[in-house]
Amino acid sequence: MRNPDPRSGRAATAGPPSSSRPLFVTRFLRRAALSAAGIPLVLLSGCNMALLAPKGDIGVQEKNLILIALGLMLLVVIPVIVLTLWFAWRYRASNPNATYAPRWSHSTVIEVVVWTIPCVIVLTLAVLIWRTTHSLDPYRPIESQTKPVRVDVVALNWKWLFIYPDYGVASVNQLAIPVDTPVEFNLTAESLMNSFFIPQLGSQVYAMPAMQTKLHLIANEPGIYAGRSAAFSGPGFSDMHFETLAKSRADFDAWIAQAKASPTMLSRAAYEQLALPGEKTPVTLYSNVAPGLFDGVVGKYMRDVHGNPICGTVPAVPGTAPSAVPGTGAPALTLNRSAILAAE
C-alpha cells in the first residue's frame, strides 16, 4: 500500500515487512508483560498507606495536596505512556498499513499541545504549592478555641523523650494527646540530628542539637498512631519509634494522673543516664521533671569552656526587663561578649 507524503509531494511507502513471529512466542511475551505489570501491585499489597489514611486536619490537607499534585502530573505521564505504547504498536515493522513518511519533521498542532499543557500544569502546581507552603507551615499555630497542649520533644539515641511543661510530667517512647485539641511541639536533639514524624497526623520536622524547631498538629479521631524517626541516625534507628495515643479529654487527664503517680522522676542526673545510647527502651512515665531541662538541652552547646552561657538577653535600660523581638514578644538574644572573651 502507498500513502501520500504531503511534504515531499511523493507517495509514501509502507514500512518493510518483517518475518512472521511464531504464535506461541507472541502469547509468551504477552503473558510475561502482564506478569511484569502485576509484580508492583503484589509488592505494594503489604504496604500500610498511612499518609493516605490521615486522622487529623493537617494530615487531611497534606493528603489532598499529594493527590492533587499527583493527578496533575499524571495528566502528562499517562498520555505519554499510552501514546508511546500505541506508536510502538501502530508503527511496528510488520504493520503494512502504517504510513512511512521519512521526510516529516514538524507539526504546529503537536508543538502547541506538548508545550502548552505542561506549562499550564507547572503554573497550577506553582500557585498550589505557594499557597500550601504558607497554610501548612509547621510553625503556624492551628486556629482553635481550645487551648493547645504543649509538648517538648527531645530526640535521644535511640529513643524519644516527651516533656509536658504545663503538667510537670514526661514520658519515653509514648506520646499522649487529647482529641480535637491542637498540640504545640517544641523539638530539639541531644546529639544527632533526627526527624520527628507521625504519618497519620501530618508534617515531619527535623530535631537538631542546639536548635529548637516547632510543629503544630491535631488529632481528630481517637486511636493509636505510629510515630517514628524519619532520618537515619545510627544502629538503633530501626527501633526508634513510639506510639501516639489520641485520647478523649477525660482519658488524657487520666493518663496525666497516671504519669503523676509514677514513682520515677526525671532529675538532671536521671536525664544524663537516659541520654546514653540505648536501643528498644521501654515506655517509661515520669512524675516530675527538673525545671528548665528542655532549655538546658537546647543551650547545651551554647556555653563557654567555663560553663557560662554565651547567649543572653538585651535589657532596654539597665535594671529593666529585657527588650522583646519585634512582633514576637520573645526576649531579644545577643552574644555574651564577656563570656566569649573569657573563653578566649
Whether 323 and 274 share a structural domain = no
pLDDT of residue 22: 63
Residue 142 falls inside a structural domain:
no
- Of 77, 106, 135, which residue constitutes the final position of a domain? 135
- Shared-domain flag, residues 128 and 175: no
Residues 274-320: tens digit of each pLDDT: 999 999 999 999 999 999 999 999 988 777 666 676 665 444 444 54
Residue 241 lies in a domain: yes
Residue 325's pLDDT is 41
C-alpha dist (Å) from residue 209 to 183, 190, 195, 301: 22, 6, 12, 8
**Hey, what's the cell of 246?**
489520641
Q: Which helix (H) or strand (E) holds 313?
A: strand 311-313
Q: What is the pLDDT of residue 102?
A: 82
Same domain for 259 and 194: yes
Over residues 164-195, the pLDDT tens digits come to 999 999 999 999 999 999 999 999 999 889 99
Strand partners, 20: none
Q: Is the torsion defined by CA of 90, 94, 95, 99 positive or negative?
A: positive
Whether 53 contacts 198, CB under 8 Å: no
- Look at residue 331 and tell me if it is in a domain: yes
> Range of 238's domain?
149-299
Asked if 185 and 219 touch (Cβ cutoff 8 Å), the reply is no
Cell 504549592 sits at which residue?
129
Long-range contacts of 115-121 (CB under 8 A, 24+ apart): 117/75, 117/76, 118/76, 121/72, 121/73, 121/75, 121/76
| 291 shares a domain with 180 | yes
Beta pairing partners, 183: 149, 217
The grid coordinates listed for 107 are 507539526
Q: What is the DSSP letter of 248?
A: -
Residue bearing cell 486556629? 143
- Residue type at 94 in one-letter notation: S
Q: Is residue 43 part of a domain?
A: no
Is residue 44 included in any domain, yes or no?
A: no
Residues 31 and 83 in one domain: yes
- Residue 172's closest CA among 186, 191, 148, 153? 153
Is the domain of 130 the same as that of 225?
Answer: no
In a domain, 45, yes or no: no
d(CA 309, CA 335): 9
267 and 202, same structural domain?
yes
Same domain as 336, residue 225? no
Tell me, yes or no, whether 143 lies in a domain.
Answer: no
**Residues 175 and 275 both lie in one domain:** yes
How many structural domains are present in the chain?
Answer: 3
Looking at the fold, whether 216 and 115 belong to one and the same domain comes out as: no
User: Are residues 243 and 208 located together in one domain of the fold?
Assistant: yes
* Sign of the CA dihedral with 21 first, then 22, 28, and 34 last: positive
Residue 68 in any domain: the answer is yes
Check whether residue 279 and residue 154 sit in a common domain.
yes
Q: Identify the domain boundary among 135, 163, 186.
A: 135
Low-confidence ranges of the chain (pLDDT < 70): 1-29, 32-48, 304-307, 309-344
Which of these three, 105, 135, 165, is where a domain ends? 135
The CATH number of the domain holding residue 265 is 2.60.40.420
pLDDT at position 316 is 44
